[in-house]
Amino acid sequence: MKRFVTLLFIASALIACQADPSGSDPIQGEDEAPLILSKEELSSKAFDLDAISDPGTITEPYRYFSSISWDEWRHLSGEARRMALEVPEDLLKQMTTLALVETALNHPELTVVNYAYNYPLAAMDSFVENTGLLRELASRKNAPDVLIWAYGQAAVDPLYLLDPDAAWQNRDYEANMPLDNLDYLSFKAFDLLMASSHFDFSHSQYLEYFKSTTAYKIAEEGLDLSGESTYFCEPLLILWDKYFGNLAPGICFASYPYVF
């Protein structure tokens, strides 16, 4: 069953993740409204990570399977399974915020909230609250700026779109994925993490860049910004509605504080 769900997500990716071949601004819905930035302007607005102050000293993401193998871990259950993934608190305090973000996107259970719960946004909020790594990330003052930078860098490993079966068969679960070479489920989990109530991007100096980055992600997936269609917990539309759009009320049922 799990493999069926995974393949369903991959099939959706093959259809959805097609960039606009015309190179024109991606306008969504009948009420056309131009984006703030063109593609050229978006590129010019991209900012250097060095512009963000980050006092951490450990720059590499944590390797979850440095002391236990993937095969050993996946046969654990309950508390033992969860504890095997906990990053030591003293180490978290020393990591840069970017290292925390990269570690989060490599978390073996991050992608589960995309499809294992009826209300994935509530599940992601709970995941943040109950994971030491993500609690530390949410506590960082520079987290919104670093997350926006990372969100602009994130991309799917092309093999997951060109040959998904080979991609899953060759996936090295003990290796960390770079931001620009994520598997498809981790890429989509990033959308959900950004939509979590634990992060607020409204006061970031890079909000304009975030808005444009989000708009192009919405366009690439062919989502409708008119407010006439109902999507069940589409994190990209949650982000648009929360920060930029004022979509129709109820556009995402999961905006309400359901528990899972």
Stretch 180-198: mean pLDDT:
94
At 82 the pLDDT is 85
More confident residue, 226 or 103: 103
| pLDDT value, residue 179 | 96
Flag whether pLDDT at 39 surpasses 80: no
Interval 81-88 mean pLDDT? 91
Quick one: pLDDT band at residue 257, thresholds 50, 70, 90?
Answer: very low
Any alpha helices (H) in the chain, and if so which ranges?
A: 2-16, 39-45, 70-74, 78-83, 89-94, 97-105, 120-129, 132-139, 143-153, 159-162, 164-169, 184-195, 207-220, 235-240
Domain boundaries, the chain: 41-224
Instruction: Give the pLDDT score at 8.
Output: 38
User: Would you state the pLDDT for residue 59?
Assistant: 96
Note the pLDDT of residue 250.
43
Q: What mean pLDDT, rounded, does the chain reach? A: 79
The yes-or-no verdict on residue 6 having pLDDT over 60 is no
Q: Which pLDDT score, from 0 to 100, does residue 208 have?
A: 87
